[in-house]
Chains A and B, each alone.
Chain A
Amino acid sequence: MILLPCPYCGPRNVSEFRYVGEVSERPDPNGTSIEEWRVFLYARNNPAGWTTETWFHSAGCRQHFVTERHTITNEVRASRLPEAQPREGQEERATGGNIAGDGGGATY
């Protein structure tokens, strides 16, 4: 049993969360070979030590976030919002807390 600090809700029992997996850099789908894409899909670093991974607070705020966790001790040293990755030609959106200015478009 470990406590996982959600950046929105604070420390919660890990059973409230769904483990998504280690964070990896996605190659550009337009410029990559099928083999490279499959390496991205299937290869894992699986370190015995600190790892950066994505979690989903399924029984809470239902938001994705990123943690740094030690896979031997299960200690968590950082928890943060995922980095926004705006697509080309799109403006970067605020990633949280901006409900008032959003009008009716807020989805959380």
Chain B
Amino acid sequence: MTLWRMEIARLLRTRRIVALGFVYLFFGFVGPLTARYMEQIIARFGGGMAVDVPPPTPADGILQFASNAQQIGLLVVLVVAAGALAFDARPEIGLFLRTRVRSVARLLAPRYVVTTVAAGVAFVLGTLAAWYETAVLIGPLPAGRMIAGMAYGVLYLAFAVAVVALATAVMRGRLAAVAVAIIALLTLPILGLLPAVEPWLPSRLVGAQVALAAGDAPADYVRAAIVSVLASAALLAVSTVLLRRRET
């Protein structure tokens, strides 16, 4: 058993990989379906209300997936990440690890990488499901921009997991860390109200997938992607320093 195998085992044995995969694949399959049959759904469950729904576009299929993936999917990622990264949440487990591994970075690296990869793979699988179903039910999507959208989505998840890493360095408890991470991630779109700042913020990547499917250029999100990568590295570095200083 190594620290890397331990993290993979954590995902598999605690069914966290199932939760991640299920939430993204579920919305991946249901999102385009909802977009395609929105008019019929409203007619069936709208209490007789007549609504004139325009014919869905392929971007609508991705929008239905992304709107759920960015909320419920992201919440699941944050919870899974906190479960892995908050190794001091149970003091005895923190003591076991800290008295055997003097380098906090060595403890943090497998937890961050395995969680990010798992979340990224789940997100990509969900997107592929939504892409396939949209193509079948509504119409084709631009392949290049869809791939760019997936890449930007994965980068945002990597940033979100890094935010959780910092949150666990500030708060010992898992729930508290999730709460801090949510507050931090919700603060970014508020900062994004400043037009000069918005193109640089990682939160810009949240809407990239839908906007790219609708016709935006991938280059519009490069600045936010670069900042996300740099910010993730900085967050992990600060987390390492704070966790090293923490007394158990």
A and B bind: no
Binding site for B on A (CB under 8 A): none
Binding site for A on B (CB under 8 A): none
